[in-house]
Amino acid sequence: MLSKSQARMFFFGGTIFFSSIFILLTIDTLAKVDERQNVDLLTPSVIRGKEIWDSNNCMGCHTILGEGAYYAPELTQAVSRRGVQWLTIFLRDPAAMFPGQRRMVDYDFTDAQIEDVIAFLDWIGKIDTNGFPPEPDLRPPAAPVVASTATSASRPAYFDEVCVACHAVGGKGGGVGPALDGVAKRFSEEELHRWLADPPSVRPGTAMPNLNLPDSTRTELVRWLRTLE
Protein backbone atom coordinates (compact mmCIF):
# COMPACT_ATOMS: atom_id res chain seq x y z
CA MET A 1 0.00 0.00 0.00
CA LEU A 2 1.31 3.43 -0.97
CA SER A 3 1.97 6.08 1.63
CA LYS A 4 0.42 9.50 1.21
CA SER A 5 3.64 10.96 -0.20
CA GLN A 6 4.11 8.02 -2.58
CA ALA A 7 0.51 8.34 -3.79
CA ARG A 8 1.06 12.04 -4.39
CA MET A 9 4.23 11.34 -6.37
CA PHE A 10 2.46 8.62 -8.36
CA PHE A 11 -0.40 10.99 -9.19
CA PHE A 12 1.80 13.91 -10.23
CA GLY A 13 4.25 11.66 -12.11
CA GLY A 14 1.45 9.96 -14.04
CA THR A 15 -0.20 13.29 -14.80
CA ILE A 16 3.02 14.76 -16.17
CA PHE A 17 3.84 11.62 -18.16
CA PHE A 18 0.47 11.29 -19.88
CA SER A 19 0.10 15.04 -20.37
CA SER A 20 3.47 15.03 -22.15
CA ILE A 21 2.32 12.22 -24.43
CA PHE A 22 -0.89 14.12 -25.20
CA ILE A 23 1.01 17.31 -26.01
CA LEU A 24 3.50 15.47 -28.24
CA LEU A 25 0.68 13.73 -30.13
CA THR A 26 -1.10 17.06 -30.56
CA ILE A 27 2.05 18.69 -31.96
CA ASP A 28 2.59 15.73 -34.30
CA THR A 29 -1.03 15.94 -35.53
CA LEU A 30 -0.89 19.68 -36.17
CA ALA A 31 2.40 19.31 -38.03
CA LYS A 32 0.75 16.90 -40.47
CA VAL A 33 -2.47 18.83 -41.05
CA ASP A 34 -1.40 20.51 -44.31
CA GLU A 35 0.06 17.31 -45.74
CA ARG A 36 -2.96 15.17 -44.91
CA GLN A 37 -5.46 17.77 -46.11
CA ASN A 38 -3.85 18.08 -49.54
CA VAL A 39 -3.66 21.86 -49.27
CA ASP A 40 -1.72 21.95 -52.52
CA LEU A 41 -4.83 20.61 -54.30
CA LEU A 42 -7.08 23.35 -52.90
CA THR A 43 -8.02 24.95 -56.23
CA PRO A 44 -10.45 27.85 -56.85
CA SER A 45 -12.98 25.28 -58.09
CA VAL A 46 -12.74 23.37 -54.81
CA ILE A 47 -13.27 26.59 -52.85
CA ARG A 48 -16.31 27.51 -54.96
CA GLY A 49 -17.68 24.02 -54.42
CA LYS A 50 -17.32 24.43 -50.65
CA GLU A 51 -19.20 27.73 -50.85
CA ILE A 52 -22.01 26.04 -52.79
CA TRP A 53 -22.05 23.22 -50.23
CA ASP A 54 -22.39 25.72 -47.37
CA SER A 55 -24.86 28.09 -49.04
CA ASN A 56 -27.26 25.23 -49.82
CA ASN A 57 -26.88 23.68 -46.35
CA CYS A 58 -25.93 20.29 -47.79
CA MET A 59 -24.78 19.21 -44.32
CA GLY A 60 -28.40 19.46 -43.23
CA CYS A 61 -28.85 16.07 -44.90
CA HIS A 62 -25.38 14.70 -45.72
CA THR A 63 -22.21 14.09 -43.76
CA ILE A 64 -18.60 14.56 -44.83
CA LEU A 65 -15.67 13.53 -42.64
CA GLY A 66 -18.21 12.39 -40.04
CA GLU A 67 -19.80 15.85 -39.67
CA GLY A 68 -23.36 16.64 -40.66
CA ALA A 69 -26.76 14.98 -40.68
CA TYR A 70 -27.55 11.33 -41.34
CA TYR A 71 -30.70 11.73 -43.42
CA ALA A 72 -28.88 11.25 -46.73
CA PRO A 73 -25.76 9.29 -47.77
CA GLU A 74 -22.29 9.99 -46.34
CA LEU A 75 -20.27 11.75 -49.05
CA THR A 76 -16.63 11.63 -47.93
CA GLN A 77 -15.82 9.07 -50.64
CA ALA A 78 -18.64 9.99 -53.03
CA VAL A 79 -16.37 10.46 -56.06
CA SER A 80 -14.46 7.20 -55.59
CA ARG A 81 -17.72 5.28 -55.00
CA ARG A 82 -19.80 6.75 -57.80
CA GLY A 83 -17.48 8.52 -60.21
CA VAL A 84 -17.59 11.99 -61.74
CA GLN A 85 -19.96 11.10 -64.56
CA TRP A 86 -22.59 9.51 -62.32
CA LEU A 87 -22.49 12.44 -59.89
CA THR A 88 -22.81 14.90 -62.77
CA ILE A 89 -25.94 13.17 -64.05
CA PHE A 90 -27.39 12.92 -60.55
CA LEU A 91 -26.82 16.58 -59.67
CA ARG A 92 -28.45 17.70 -62.91
CA ASP A 93 -31.66 15.88 -62.01
CA PRO A 94 -31.65 13.97 -58.69
CA ALA A 95 -35.23 12.68 -59.04
CA ALA A 96 -34.59 11.16 -62.47
CA MET A 97 -31.91 8.78 -61.22
CA PHE A 98 -34.12 7.17 -58.58
CA PRO A 99 -37.77 7.94 -59.42
CA GLY A 100 -39.98 7.87 -56.35
CA GLN A 101 -37.08 7.06 -54.02
CA ARG A 102 -34.80 10.07 -53.62
CA ARG A 103 -35.95 13.19 -51.81
CA MET A 104 -33.01 15.37 -52.76
CA VAL A 105 -33.98 18.83 -53.94
CA ASP A 106 -33.19 19.80 -57.52
CA TYR A 107 -31.12 22.94 -57.02
CA ASP A 108 -30.95 23.72 -60.75
CA PHE A 109 -27.17 23.85 -60.62
CA THR A 110 -25.39 25.08 -63.72
CA ASP A 111 -22.79 22.83 -65.32
CA ALA A 112 -20.07 25.03 -63.81
CA GLN A 113 -21.58 24.72 -60.32
CA ILE A 114 -21.83 20.94 -60.69
CA GLU A 115 -18.15 20.79 -61.65
CA ASP A 116 -17.26 22.87 -58.58
CA VAL A 117 -19.32 20.71 -56.19
CA ILE A 118 -17.72 17.54 -57.58
CA ALA A 119 -14.26 19.14 -57.35
CA PHE A 120 -14.93 19.86 -53.67
CA LEU A 121 -16.13 16.29 -53.02
CA ASP A 122 -13.13 14.91 -54.91
CA TRP A 123 -10.78 17.01 -52.74
CA ILE A 124 -12.55 15.80 -49.59
CA GLY A 125 -12.16 12.19 -50.74
CA LYS A 126 -8.39 12.59 -51.11
CA ILE A 127 -7.83 13.70 -47.52
CA ASP A 128 -5.96 11.09 -45.50
CA THR A 129 -8.64 9.98 -43.03
CA ASN A 130 -6.98 6.76 -41.87
CA GLY A 131 -9.59 4.64 -43.61
CA PHE A 132 -12.72 6.66 -42.73
CA PRO A 133 -15.46 5.97 -43.60
CA PRO A 134 -15.08 2.20 -43.23
CA GLU A 135 -16.82 -0.26 -45.48
CA PRO A 136 -20.25 -1.08 -44.05
CA ASP A 137 -20.44 -4.26 -41.97
CA LEU A 138 -23.93 -5.09 -43.20
CA ARG A 139 -24.35 -5.71 -46.91
CA PRO A 140 -26.99 -7.40 -49.01
CA PRO A 141 -26.10 -10.99 -49.99
CA ALA A 142 -23.93 -11.10 -53.08
CA ALA A 143 -25.65 -12.30 -56.21
CA PRO A 144 -24.36 -15.58 -57.65
CA VAL A 145 -21.56 -15.06 -60.10
CA VAL A 146 -22.63 -15.83 -63.63
CA ALA A 147 -20.07 -16.46 -66.32
CA SER A 148 -20.04 -13.94 -69.13
CA THR A 149 -18.48 -14.11 -72.55
CA ALA A 150 -17.49 -10.43 -72.39
CA THR A 151 -13.99 -9.54 -71.30
CA SER A 152 -13.37 -6.78 -68.78
CA ALA A 153 -11.17 -5.00 -71.32
CA SER A 154 -14.14 -4.56 -73.67
CA ARG A 155 -16.42 -3.20 -70.97
CA PRO A 156 -17.25 0.46 -71.65
CA ALA A 157 -16.02 2.97 -69.10
CA TYR A 158 -19.51 4.54 -69.07
CA PHE A 159 -20.95 1.30 -67.71
CA ASP A 160 -18.48 1.25 -64.83
CA GLU A 161 -19.05 4.93 -64.07
CA VAL A 162 -22.85 5.08 -64.34
CA CYS A 163 -24.72 1.89 -65.20
CA VAL A 164 -23.07 -0.34 -62.59
CA ALA A 165 -24.72 1.70 -59.84
CA CYS A 166 -28.03 0.02 -60.74
CA HIS A 167 -27.15 -3.04 -62.84
CA ALA A 168 -24.97 -6.04 -62.09
CA VAL A 169 -22.93 -8.25 -64.41
CA GLY A 170 -21.32 -11.43 -63.16
CA GLY A 171 -22.77 -10.84 -59.71
CA LYS A 172 -21.07 -7.46 -59.28
CA GLY A 173 -22.95 -4.18 -59.40
CA GLY A 174 -26.13 -2.57 -58.14
CA GLY A 175 -29.43 -4.29 -57.55
CA VAL A 176 -31.84 -1.46 -58.40
CA GLY A 177 -32.19 -2.63 -61.99
CA PRO A 178 -32.09 -6.14 -63.41
CA ALA A 179 -28.83 -8.04 -63.82
CA LEU A 180 -27.63 -7.85 -67.40
CA ASP A 181 -26.13 -11.32 -67.75
CA GLY A 182 -27.70 -12.94 -70.82
CA VAL A 183 -29.25 -9.66 -72.00
CA ALA A 184 -28.14 -10.41 -75.58
CA LYS A 185 -30.50 -13.41 -75.61
CA ARG A 186 -33.43 -11.35 -74.41
CA PHE A 187 -33.12 -8.25 -76.58
CA SER A 188 -32.08 -7.59 -80.14
CA GLU A 189 -29.62 -4.88 -81.09
CA GLU A 190 -32.47 -2.67 -82.28
CA GLU A 191 -34.39 -3.15 -79.03
CA LEU A 192 -31.35 -2.27 -76.95
CA HIS A 193 -30.83 0.92 -78.97
CA ARG A 194 -34.47 1.92 -78.48
CA TRP A 195 -34.30 1.19 -74.78
CA LEU A 196 -31.11 3.15 -74.14
CA ALA A 197 -32.29 6.05 -76.30
CA ASP A 198 -35.41 6.65 -74.18
CA PRO A 199 -36.41 4.02 -71.57
CA PRO A 200 -39.66 5.73 -70.43
CA SER A 201 -40.98 5.79 -74.01
CA VAL A 202 -40.45 2.02 -74.32
CA ARG A 203 -41.82 1.19 -70.88
CA PRO A 204 -43.80 4.02 -69.24
CA GLY A 205 -43.23 4.17 -65.51
CA THR A 206 -39.84 2.45 -65.63
CA ALA A 207 -37.36 3.42 -62.92
CA MET A 208 -34.60 3.86 -65.48
CA PRO A 209 -34.22 7.50 -66.50
CA ASN A 210 -33.45 8.87 -69.92
CA LEU A 211 -29.72 9.55 -69.64
CA ASN A 212 -29.66 11.40 -72.98
CA LEU A 213 -26.76 9.28 -74.14
CA PRO A 214 -24.72 10.51 -77.09
CA ASP A 215 -25.02 8.21 -80.11
CA SER A 216 -21.40 7.10 -79.75
CA THR A 217 -21.87 6.11 -76.09
CA ARG A 218 -25.12 4.29 -76.79
CA THR A 219 -23.55 2.41 -79.70
CA GLU A 220 -20.58 1.38 -77.54
CA LEU A 221 -22.89 0.12 -74.78
CA VAL A 222 -25.10 -1.82 -77.17
CA ARG A 223 -22.10 -3.41 -78.85
CA TRP A 224 -20.85 -4.60 -75.46
CA LEU A 225 -24.27 -5.70 -74.18
CA ARG A 226 -24.66 -7.86 -77.28
CA THR A 227 -21.69 -9.92 -76.05
CA LEU A 228 -23.47 -10.83 -72.79
CA GLU A 229 -25.00 -14.12 -73.84
Q: Do domains 37-125 and 152-225 have the same CATH topology?
A: yes
- d(CA 93, CA 108) in angstroms, rounded, equals 8
Mean pLDDT of 195-221: 91
Domain borders along the chain are: 37-125, 152-225
Mean pLDDT of 93-113: 83
- d(CA 126, CA 176) in angstroms, rounded, equals 28
pLDDT over 70, % of the chain: 89
Considering only CA atoms, which of 196, 59, 66, 44 is closest in space to residue 120? 44
Q: Are 205 and 127 spatial neighbours (Cβ–Cβ below 8 Å)? A: no
What is the predicted pLDDT for the residue at 136?
Answer: 57
- d(CA 116, CA 123) in angstroms, rounded, equals 11
Write down how long the chain is: 229
Q: 37-125 has which fold?
A: Cytochrome Bc1 Complex; Chain D, domain 2 (1.10.760)
Residue 46 has pLDDT above 50, yes or no: yes
Mean pLDDT of 49-54: 96
* Res. 142 pLDDT band, cuts 50 70 90: very low
Q: 152-225 has which fold?
A: Cytochrome Bc1 Complex; Chain D, domain 2 (1.10.760)
How confident is the model over 147-173, as pLDDT tens digits? 444 444 488 999 998 898 889 998 888
